[in-house]
Structure 1
Amino acid sequence: MSEDDKPPAREVITDYAQAHFRYFRTADGTVYAQRNGHPVARPIRSQGTTGSHRQELMVGLFKDGRGVFNGTALKEALDLIEALALTEHVQPVHIRVAPGFDGATWLDLGRADGQSVRIHPTGWDITVPDPREVCWRRTQLTGELPLPAKDTDGKGIDLLMRLCNFATAQTEGLAIAWLIGCLGPGVPVPAPFLTGPQGAGKSTGGRMLVRIVEGMSGDLRRAPKDEESLITAVAAGWITALDNLSHMTPDLSDAMCCIVTGAESVKRALFTDGDVHRARYRRPLLLTGIDVGVIRPDLAERLLPLRLDRPRVRRTEAELWSEYAEVLPTVLGSLLDLTVKVRAAQAETPTDLRMADFAHLCAQLDAATGWATLDAYRASLDDLNDDVIEGDLLAQTVLRHAGTIAAGQQQRKTSTEWLHCLSALYTGDDFRPLPKGWPTTGKVLSDRLKRLHPTLAARGVLIDSGRTMAGRYLEMARVEAPPRHEQQQAF
C-alpha cells in the first residue's frame, strides 16, 4: 500500500479505540473509557499517575503492531471520540463501593484483574462485575484488598477486636456497625471519633478500621488547612480519616457535616471562562484525637464517639501489622458474612434520631446478633449532648432558666428581652463580665438558640419562634425530658 493510500493516523487510532474500549459519559459530562470486559474506567482527559487512557491506548497500539503515533494524531482521535461519547447513555462511576442490580452492592478490591465482591441478599461472591452494571474509578488513594476468606464462622470479628483497644463491648459493636455502613453506598454513617488517653492506640485503631475497606495502603491524614483541599481528598477516595485533631474550627466543622450527609462543590473549570466543575460527595469520615474542644451541635449529631483504653501489654509496630495483614482476609470475610445477615434482618426504623439510616442499621445488627448497639448509639449521643452543653455557657444558662419554668408551661418574650433576661441570669448579683462570644443582639441570640435546639430538646427544653401583630417572639417551654440511655452489657 502506498503512502497516499494509507488511512490517516487519527482514523487508525479511532478505529482501534472503538474496537477495544467502551466510551460513555457521566451526569456531569465527563467522558470515560473502559476496556472491553474490564470494570475499571478512566477519564479520557486524565493524565494521572494511576495510568491515563492516553497511555493505555498508546501501549495497546504498539503491542498490537499498529505503530507509534505522535501527539497530534492522538489528540485529534481523542477529540473525536470525546465528541461521539457525549451522545452515549449516561452511566455513573464509583469509588470502592457501588449499587448493583437486584438489590446487590459491590466492593472494589482494587485489583488489576478487576475482581470485586458482590454482596447480594443471599450471600456474597468474588467475581468480575459486568461493566454495564458497575464502573469503577480508581485514584492513587485506591488501595488493593486481599481476597476475603470464606466460611470464617465470624472469627474475624474477634481477631480484629483483639488487635484494637476499645474500652467496652458496646464500643466494639458501634465500630462494627460503622464498618457495615461503609459497605453500603447509599447509607450515610456518622463519623467515628476515636478518643482516649495518650498512648491508647487511637491512630493505630483508626488505621485498622480504615484498612479493612481501603487496603493496607490506607492511612490517616492531617486535617487540611482549607476546605477546598479537604474536598479534593474526600472526592478521590472512599473513607477520609483525619488524625490527631486538637481543634475544630467552625469552617472545618461545617465541612465535616457536609461530608457525612452529602453536598456538592462547584468551581470554575480550568482553562474556561464560564464552564464549571461539579464535585458531589458523601463519604464515610473517621477522626482521632484526645480532645477537640467545643463541639458544635450540628456536628455532634453526626459523630460516633469510640473510646479506647491504654493497652496493658505493648507490642512492636512490625509485630502488630504483620499479624493484622495475616488476619485481614479473615476479618474482611467475617465482616461480609455479618453484613449479609444484617441486611436480611427485619427491624423498625427509629424515628427520633437524626442519622435514621444508621440507627436502623444498628437495630438490624441487634436483631441479627442479639447485641444492644442501638442503645449504645443512643447513649453515645447523650454523652455528646453533655459535651456540647459543657462547652457552651449560653446553653448552660438557658437550662438554668428553664429550671424555673414548670413542666408543660411556656414563656414568651422578644429576642431582645430574652437576651437581657439570660445576660442578667449569667452575670448574677456579682455582675461578672459576659464571656467572649456571648450574643450581643437579639438576632444573634435567636440564631444561636436555633443551632442549640436539638441539644436543648434532648434535655426537655423546647425553643420556638413566631410572629404576632406586635412583632416576632421566642417561646421557651419545658417538657418531660426523654429518658437517658444507659449502655447495657448485652454483648
Structure 2
Amino acid sequence: MVDDDKSPAREVITDYAQAHFRYFRTADGTVYAQKNGHPVARPIRSQGTTGSHRQELMVGLFRDGHGVFNGTALKEALDLIEALALTEDVQPVHIRVAPGFDGATWLDLGRNDGQSVRIHPSGWDLAVPDPREVCWRRTQLTGELPLPVKDTDGKGIDLLLRLCNFATAQTECLAVAWLIGCLGPSVPVPAPFLTGPQGAGKSTGGRMLVRIIEGMSGDLRRAPKDEENLIAAVAAGWVTALDNLSHMTPDLSDAMCCIVTGAENVKRALYTDGDVVRARYRRPMLLTGIDVGVIRPDLAERLLPLRLERPRVRRTEAELWAEYAEALPVVLGSLLDLAVKVRAAQAETPTDLRMADFAHLCAQLDAATGWGTLAAYRASLDDLNDDVIEGDLLAQTVLRHADTIEAGAAQRMTSTEWLHCLSRLYSGDDLRPLPKGWPTTGKVLSDRLKRLQPTLAARGVLIDSGRTSEGRYLEMTRAQAPPPHEAKRMF
C-alpha cells in the first residue's frame, strides 16, 4: 500500500471510532473506550482475552462495510485517539461495584446487555447505567450474575443459610452483614475467615458466599507465593477468596491488611525508564482454613471469624450446586432487599472499633432486623484477641506484669528497662531460656508493644510512649476496670 492510501485509512478509522465510541482517561492516565450507550469500558491498549478495544473496532468497521484495515493504519489511528483522549475529563472505572448519583450504588451483573442493579435507600431496580455515571471494567474474573428476583420476603436469606453449615445464629448474621458490605464500594469490610473441623464444608461455604457477588464462575484459589501476584489477582476482581490457609507469613498478613483497608501499589512500567504504573485497591477478602497459627494483632482487627460445623446429612456436589444455582436469583434478590432496608436505617456509629464503617453497617442491620449483629461482631473480635494473646508469649507476660499494678496506676520505664523486667518475669526463678522471637533490644520491644497496643487495651492494659529531658520512655497503665464484654453477656 502506498503512502497516499495510509492517510485515508487512518482517517476512516478515526472518524468511525469517534462516531461510535466515547474515549476518556482515568486518574492514572489510562485511556478507555466505551461504546455509545453501553456501560462497559475497555482500555484501548489492552490485548486481553476478554476482548480488546482494537478487536471491537476492527469488527465494527468490517460489519459496517468499511472493510479490513492493516495494523499500521489501526495503530496510527489509536495513537491519535489516545492523544486526543488525554485532554478529556477524568472518570474512574469500576469492577463489579460502583458509586452512582444521589447516594446510589451499582452492582454489575456481568451481562452483555449491560443491565446492572441500582441500589438506593428507596429501593433497587434493574437498569443500564448512564455511561457518564458508571463505567464498568471487566476481566476474566468478572462472572455473570442472574437477574435477581424482586419481593422475595427474605426467602433467599433462609435458603442460603440452609445450604451453609454455620454453627450459630451469630455467625449467620455476620455472614449476611459481610455480603451487604460487599455491595458498598466505600465500606471496608473485614475478611471472613471460615473455620471449623474437617468436613465442615468450609470451601463449599466460601464458594457459596463468593458466588453471590461474583457469579457461578467465582471460585477460591490458593494464596499466591508473593505479594505482586496477590495484588494482580486482587486488582482483576472484586472479592478475593483464598482457600485452605494453614500458615500466615508476616508479608502475607501485612498484604491482607492493606487489601482490606486500602492501599496503592506503584511499579515501573514495562519498557520504560521513568514511567510508573499505579494500582489502587481496596477489596473484600474471604479466607478458609482449619487453623493459620499465630495471628498478628493488626490482621486480627480486620478478620471476621465464621465457624462452621459438620453437616448431619451429606449430599453430592452435583445435587448441592444444582440447588444453589436454582436458588441464586432469589438469594441475590433477598440480599438486595435487605441492603435497601439497611441503608435506609438510622444507627449510631460505634467509635471504639477499628473497622468503624463495618461496625456502623452492623448497627444499621440491627436497626432493620433486630438480629444483634453488632454484639456478635464485638464477641468475634474478643475471641480473636484471645487467639492473639494465646499465640504471643510477650503479650502473656505483659498481662502478668500488669496484674501487679494497681488499678488506675501507671508505671514508667525506658524500653531497655522494660525489656529486662519482662525478660526476668518470663524466665522466673528457674531461669528458663527466652523463646525464639523474644525481643532482643529495647527498640524491638517498643515496636512489638506498639503492634500489641489494641490487643492489650482490650484487656485493660494501656501502653503509651513519650519523651522527657532524660530520654524516651514507655508507660504501662492498668485501667480502672476491664472494658465491658457486651457481646458475651448477650449470648
| TM-score normalised by L of structure 2 | 0.98
Alignment of 1:402-413 (within 5 A): 402-413=402-413
Which residue type is aligned with residue 188 of structure 1? P
Describe the shift of the 1:4–1:463 C-alpha distance in structure 2 as closer, same or farther (beyond 3 A): closer
Q: What are structure 2's unaligned runs of at least 5 residues?
A: none
- Rounded to whole Å, the distance in 2 between the matches of 1:282 and 1:488 is 34
Q: Percent identity?
A: 89
Q: Deviations over 1:327-383 (max 9, x none)?
A: 000000000000000000000000000000000000000000011000000000000
CA contact (8 A) 1:301 1:354 kept: yes
Q: Deviations over 1:178-207 (max 9, x none)?
A: 000000000000000000001000000000
Alignment of 1:28-427 (within 5 A): 28-427=28-427
Which residue type is aligned with residue 207 of structure 1? R
CA contact (8 A) 1:23 1:32 kept: yes
Which residue type is aligned with residue 462 of structure 1? L
- Rounded to whole Å, the distance in 1 between the matches of 2:249 and 2:356 is 26
Shift of 1:304: 0.3
- Rounded to whole Å, the distance in 1 between the matches of 2:421 and 2:4 is 92
- Rounded to whole Å, the distance in 2 between the matches of 1:47 and 1:472 is 56
Q: Deviations over 1:97-156 (max 9, x none)?
A: 000000100000000000000011210000111101000000000000000001111100
Alignment of 1:411-490 (within 5 A): 411-479=411-479, 480-487=481-488
- Rounded to whole Å, the distance in 2 between the matches of 1:200 and 1:6 is 65
- Rounded to whole Å, the distance in 2 between the matches of 1:75 and 1:384 is 55
Which residue type is aligned with residue 162 of structure 2? R
- Rounded to whole Å, the distance in 2 between the matches of 1:4 and 1:228 is 47
Which residue type is aligned with residue 132 of structure 1? R
Describe the shift of the 1:262–1:53 C-alpha distance in structure 2 as closer, same or farther (beyond 3 A): same
- Rounded to whole Å, the distance in 2 between the matches of 1:158 and 1:19 is 49
Which residue type is aligned with residue 130 of structure 2? D
Which residue type is aligned with residue 133 of structure 1? E
Shift of 1:7: 6.0
CA contact (8 A) 1:413 1:475 kept: yes
Residue 446 of structure 1: SS of its match in structure 2? helix
Shift of 1:485: 3.3
Shift of 1:455: 0.3
- Rounded to whole Å, the distance in 1 between the matches of 2:469 and 2:213 is 58
CA contact (8 A) 2:241 2:287 kept: yes
CA contact (8 A) 2:6 2:73 kept: no
Describe the shift of the 1:239–1:438 C-alpha distance in structure 2 as closer, same or farther (beyond 3 A): same
Shift of 1:271: 1.1
Residue 405 of structure 1: SS of its match in structure 2? coil
Residue 139 of structure 2: SS of its match in structure 1? coil
CA contact (8 A) 1:269 1:275 kept: yes
Q: What are structure 1's unaligned runs of at least 5 residues?
A: none
CA contact (8 A) 1:170 1:487 kept: no
Which residue type is aligned with residue 354 of structure 2? R
- Rounded to whole Å, the distance in 1 between the matches of 2:54 and 2:256 is 36
- Rounded to whole Å, the distance in 1 between the matches of 2:482 and 2:283 is 33
Residue 9 of structure 1 corresponds to 9
- Rounded to whole Å, the distance in 2 between the matches of 1:92 and 1:7 is 33
Which residue type is aligned with residue 201 of structure 2? G
- Rounded to whole Å, the distance in 2 between the matches of 1:4 and 1:86 is 28
CA contact (8 A) 1:375 1:488 kept: no
Shift of 1:486: 3.5
CA contact (8 A) 2:107 2:183 kept: yes
- Rounded to whole Å, the distance in 2 between the matches of 1:171 and 1:159 is 16
CA contact (8 A) 1:376 1:488 kept: no
The more displaced of 4-13 and 374-383 is 4-13
Describe the shift of the 1:4–1:380 C-alpha distance in structure 2 as closer, same or farther (beyond 3 A): closer
Describe the shift of the 1:171–1:487 C-alpha distance in structure 2 as closer, same or farther (beyond 3 A): farther
CA contact (8 A) 2:375 2:490 kept: no
Q: Deviations over 1:240-269 (max 9, x none)?
A: 000000000000000000000000000001
Residue 432 of structure 2: SS of its match in structure 1? coil
Count how many residue pairs are aligned between Structure 1 and Structure 2.
488
- Rounded to whole Å, the distance in 1 between the matches of 2:32 and 2:64 is 22
Which residue type is aligned with residue 99 of structure 1? P
CA contact (8 A) 1:167 1:309 kept: yes
Residue 279 of structure 2: SS of its match in structure 1? strand
Residue 118 of structure 2: SS of its match in structure 1? strand
CA contact (8 A) 1:116 1:128 kept: yes
CA contact (8 A) 2:206 2:286 kept: yes
